[in-house]
Amino acid sequence: MKVGIVGANGYSGIELIRFLLNHRFVTIEVIIANSNSGKNIANLFPHLTNILEEELEQLTIDTVVKRVDLLFFATPSGVSKDWIPQFINRGIKCIDLSGDFRLKEADAYKEWYQFEHSSPSFLQEATYGLVDIFKEKIKNAVLIANPGCYATAILLGLIPCVENNLIDPNTIVIDGKSGVSGAGRKASLATQFSEVNENVKAYKVGKHQHIPEVEQVLSEISGNPINICFTTHLIPMTRGIMCTIYVNRKNRITTKQLLDVYEEYYEASSSIRIRPEGNFPTTKEVYGSNYCDIGLYVDERTNRLTIVSVIDNVVKGAAGQAIQNMNLLNNWDMDEGIRNIPIYP
């Protein structure tokens, strides 16, 4: 199959390239980056020397349509909404790594993304690509909204509890910690090395754009509206997200019982690993891989669960899950091309 990558010069685009080059059924036919079109990608990213020495191209409908079967959009927020409908209308399936098609309500984009959505009708058509949960729906999709990095870690950590009605949904508190690559590849003062190193910073307190995405999915699964309290922190590391989730238990479930619930729930998901009792995952233990690792603890003193969920934000939180979505669309093995072992140390 032939695919294209729009936004190939961002971190998620580069990571798509790393995985797709090893995918048995796919050829990268076109790599697109308007700001760098005409340049050899290996000049911009010398780690690709001798590996992928192709020219970046401009995004236009006609030329791309004839060449690819599927397009990945790894563009900043607010770009894909204007392009994807045109490609869908021409019969090209699209997987969008940005947030432009994740929310169902067009109005929510004004509040959380600060833009007016140009294609509200397509919001209903989009399928939310959380592969370990919505596998069947995804197989028949044409436009896939690849989940946000934080949203992936949170949802995979919470859904077994919500679906099994084990927690009080009004008590969900989520403390997120992210590496800097999540901010994308662009010159910015706030993500300069000297500003980030030896520093921890809370950002977008109560205002992170993944809040409505998480609430939409949890509410749908629960059948009742669920609100979350979510604060994000920038950590001096490049890759990795950890979400520590605190929530009141409903009944007197134990850590052991909880682990059993999760083990069973994720039995078919080879990229989700539930840690044994007393063991909590670290972000480095999934570095460069598509795993989501989850640790669980019931605090008998306070009747609260602590759920620790980690992913590599650029893989399971972006490019890796996007490829899983592509695999599902094509009825290939869900993990084809993304079975990389985490790099340690």
| Window 257 to 276, contacts with its own copies (CB under 8 A) | 270, 273, 275
Task: Quote the CA–CA distance of 189 and 77 in Å, as a whole number.
Answer: 19
Interface positions, 16-45, toward its own copies (CB under 8 A) = 18, 21-22, 45
Contact stretch for its own copies (CB under 8 A) within 28-36, 69-77, 142-150, 194-202? 194-202
- Range 297-330 burial, b when 16+ CB lie within 10 A, else e: bbeeeeebbbbbbbbbbbbbbbbbbbbbbbbbbb
Smallest separation, CB 213 to its own copies (Å): 15
13 binding its own copies? (CB under 8 A)? no
219 binding its own copies? (CB under 8 A)? no
What's the CA angle centered on 164, arms 175 and 321, to 5 degrees? Answer: 55
290 binding its own copies? (CB under 8 A)? no
Which x/- pattern over 63-102 shows residues binding its own copies (rule: CB under 8 A)?
A: ----------------------------------------
In this structure, what token pair is assigned to residue 130? Answer: 């959380």
Q: Is 140 exposed, middle or buried (0-12, 13-18, 19+ CB in 10 A)?
A: exposed
- Please pick, from the candidates 283, 290, 325, 327, the single residue that binds its own copies as defined by CB under 8 A: 283
Smallest separation, CB 198 to its own copies (Å): 5
Q: Helix 11-20 and helix 320-329: axis angle, to 10°?
A: 50
Pairing mode of beta strands 27-32, 2-6: parallel
189 binding its own copies? (CB under 8 A)? yes
Prior bond of 345 cis (ω within 30°): yes
Of 96 and 293, nearer to its own copies (C-beta) is 293
337 binding its own copies? (CB under 8 A)? no
In this structure, what token pair is assigned to residue 225? Answer: 């509206």
46 binding its own copies? (CB under 8 A)? yes
For CA atoms 212, 110, 107, 103, the dihedral sign is negative
- Please pick, from the candidates 35, 49, 60, 86, the single residue that binds its own copies as defined by CB under 8 A: 49
Of 46 and 223, nearer to its own copies (C-beta) is 46
> Which of 94, 149, 243, 292 is an active site residue?
149
Smallest separation, CB 175 to its own copies (Å): 4
Smallest separation, CB 34 to its own copies (Å): 17
Sheet of 2-6: strand order equals 27-32, 2-6, 70-73, 93-96, 143-145, 127-128
- Please pick, from the candidates 5, 11, 32, 265, the single residue that binds its own copies as defined by CB under 8 A: 11
Contact stretch for its own copies (CB under 8 A) within 65-73, 79-87, 129-137, 289-297? 289-297
Residue type, 218: L
Q: Residue 288, Cβ neighbours under 10 Å: how many?
A: 18
- Please pick, from the candidates 25, 60, 200, 264, the single residue that binds its own copies as defined by CB under 8 A: 200
Which x/- pattern over 239-258 shows residues binding its own copies (rule: CB under 8 A)?
A: xx-x-x-x------------
Q: Distance from first CA to last CA of the chain, Å, rounded?
A: 35
149 is catalytic: yes
Residues recognised as catalytic: 149
